[in-house]
Amino acid sequence: MAVSPARRAAAPPARSGPASRLARLGLRTDDDFALHLPLRYLDLTQVVPIGSARHGDDVQVEGVVRHQEVSSRGRRVLSADIEDDSGRIGLRLFNFYPSQIRQLAVGRVVRVHGGVRAGLFGLEMVHPTVRAGGGADLPERLTPVYPTTAGISQPSLRTAIAEALERVRWRDALSPAQREALGVMPIREAVGLLHHPRPDDSLAALEDRSHPAWRTVILDELLAQQVSLREARRRRSVLRAAPMTEPARARALIERLPFQLTGAQQRVWREIAADLARGEPMNRLLQGDVGSGKTVIAALAALQAVGSGFQVALMAPTEILAEQHHRKLRQWIDDPLARIAWLSGSMKPADKKAVREAVARGEVDLLIGTHALIQDSVVFPRLGLAIVDEQHRFGVAQRLALRGAQADSARPAHQLMMSATPIPRTLAMSYYADLDVSVIDEAPPGRKPVLTKLIDARRRDQVIEAIRAALGEGRQVYWVCPLIEESEALDLQTAIDTHALLAAELPEWPVGLVHGRLAPGEKAATMSAFAAGELRLLVATTVIEVGVDVPNASLMVIEHAERFGLSQLHQLRGRVGRGTADSVCVLLFRTPLSETARERLRIVFESSDGFEIARRDLLLRGPGELLGARQSGLAMLRHADLERDAELVEQARELATTLLRDDPAAALALTARWLAGRGDFVQA
């Protein structure tokens, strides 16, 4: 299927057809096509004798088809043998087309490219690329292989990209002197080379991205991102937000708290209070490891806003976390300080309507809730501060929607984002360069480290005995499972089965069960009973990952720990160790373990440092989940790798300042090349 790039940004594509398929690849304009770079390359520049091919080689051979067979034992397989003067090799194709049967007819000369492996009857290629042979001309350069999707062929992509390359006219962001100092090329030359490598270019350097052309493209992309973030900060600096200068209610809360703020909390609060008092919209990220005391900082910020005559919205990703915030803030804040309301998707329609109307009349100072805050048409006549907890759990578009919920769009609300998932330094430099960042790097007094143990699931009986002992000492216990009910795809012990097992094994203790499919009322009642000590053992899914605070809980068992992500394991472990007792987190795993699972368990066993765990998580999983970018459907960086390219991130930060100062036109052209249509998301 032939495809053609659009010269400028196109209208939204239809639901089906080439345009929609190309849109899934992010291909709408000439720039998009030109920057759609190869995943790998095929070396079709030479044909080697079949007899010289060895197991593990990736080669192109040419020969005559001597045998063909279509078998249907279990699944249909097209098998063929081709032969030249030096030897014979087998071919096997699954999910083949009738045209491929004709292509491999006995007696035809074909040219075949693929990986060679040892089969039952000698060397073979599985799913090779097959072309007509017989002396056809060989290409002079490596052949690019592009990321694609169903319905878009490699030849049609190559044609469309070549046409786009002919049309693009790019301006270099860097001067010749800068390029020489940095060891990079003109951007158009670099992109052209990556699409059509020269005969003497190293295939290894191209594929491991150490080639100067890749360095050029990656630096160009990172520079575009840094420029856009600086511009976002500059544009925000000229906006006028409402100054919030009345600290009396925040001071009143500090005086009535049953604990003293740590030094780190006091420092962070001074930073946020100063931001709120300025006429420029605050856009601050508050980081703090599990249990470091971010909620009280959010409460102080809310009271400074309320005391200055404004409303506050606090959005959390789950009902359990939002409800926990509601309960805790109710303990600290009574009506004279702030009128607090709660909104969730599970509320009855009449109750939700009543809350929305109260907010619209200005009778609610602080509204706490889930995504219902942006889905239920809530309008704040005086929204002055939006607080987003666990901000990476929301999509970028959701965070933008909360920002837009205020009735007075001319005066943007201050925004405070909070995360217990520390952002690694490279990620912060790359994606949060337009934010101010505050870090609570001090644990509250009395927080004890949690001992982490790795235990094979075959020793489950010993774990149950440890639970019996902890319960006998008056402690409380979590048992966390990854699934709610049986899955044929994953052989996992489920929360429901585990609840039944523990209830039978420990009949003297009441066992609770909480998971995402429970009715909200049941969920809230179970959590309240556990928080009150009426339930001593709680079986739960990951709905308890964040926000649950039960100081008497000193033992957590995580079932199938090998199935969880690093940050998730660290978050779950943070649910214990909140009291005075020594606490233990048991990571219960099943063998055999994959290499990735083994590495995750080793890291969380060895480290309790949230920043180090987040850095390692970035290496294992990439930035998408830490950013909330996956929910947006937007690839935030196309080619740069934050860990591999950390040096270039630093250089891009320095260059962005110079470029914006000395050549704003070049900066504009750069961001148009890389970020057309993505500006709102960059600012989220």
23-81 residue pLDDT tens: 878 888 999 999 999 998 888 888 999 999 999 888 999 999 999 999 887 778 999 99
Please determine, for residue 311, whether its predicted confidence score (pLDDT) is greater than 90. Answer: yes
The pLDDT of residue 623 is 55
Rounded to an integer, the average pLDDT of 364-371 is 91
The pLDDT of residue 447 is 73
The tens digit of pLDDT for each residue in 91-105 reads 999 888 888 899 999
CA dist 231 → 35, 492, 672 (Å): 23, 48, 13
Share of the chain above pLDDT 90, in %: 44
pTM, rounded to two decimals = 0.67
Q: Which two tokens mark 214?
A: 């890749």
**Average pLDDT of the chain, as a whole number:** 83
Superfamily of domain 248-440: P-loop containing nucleotide triphosphate hydrolases (3.40.50.300)
The conformation of residue 90, written as its DSSP 8-state character, comes to E
Task: Look at the alpha carbons of 591, 597, 599, 602 in this order and tell me if their dihedral is positive or negative.
Answer: negative
The terminus-to-terminus CA distance of the chain in angstroms comes to: 37
**Domain residues of the chain, as ranges?**
1-40+152-169, 46-138, 248-440, 450-607
Strand blocks (E) in 511-602: 511-514, 537-540, 553-558, 583-589
Maximum distance among all Cα pairs of the chain, rounded to whole angstroms: 94
Is-contact 195 37, C-beta < 8 A?
Answer: yes
Task: Look at the alpha carbons of 518, 519, 521, 524 in this order and tell me if their dihedral is positive or negative.
Answer: positive
The tens digit of pLDDT for each residue in 613-656 reads 877 776 666 554 444 443 333 346 788 887 788 788 889 988 99
- For 368, counting Cβ atoms within 10 Å of its Cβ (0-12 exposed, 13-18 middle, 19+ buried), the class is buried
Rounded to an integer, the average pLDDT of 364-376 is 83
Neighbours of 541 (CB within 10 A): 21
Is-contact 430 618, C-beta < 8 A?
Answer: no
Q: Which two tokens mark 11?
A: 């209208």
Please determine, for residue 223, whether its predicted confidence score (pLDDT) is greater than 90. Answer: yes
Q: Judge whether 248-440 and 450-607 match in fold.
A: yes
Higher pLDDT, residue 618 or 115: 115
Is-contact 359 378, C-beta < 8 A?
Answer: yes
Decide if domain 450-607 falls under CATH 3.20.20.30: no
Higher pLDDT, residue 443 or 181: 181
Q: What CA–CA distance (Å, rounded) separates 609 from 571? A: 11
633 Rama sector, left if φ>0, alpha if ψ -120 to 50, beta otherwise? left
Q: Which two tokens mark 601?
A: 């368990």
Fold of 46-138: OB fold (Dihydrolipoamide Acetyltransferase, E2P) (2.40.50)
Rounded to an integer, the average pLDDT of 268-286 is 93
Question: How does residue 178 score in pLDDT terms, banded at 50, 70 and 90?
Answer: very high
Question: How does residue 398 score in pLDDT terms, banded at 50, 70 and 90?
Answer: very low
Question: How does residue 179 score in pLDDT terms, banded at 50, 70 and 90?
Answer: very high
Is-contact 82 121, C-beta < 8 A?
Answer: no
Comparing CA positions, the residue from 434, 449, 416, 427 lying closest to residue 294 is: 416
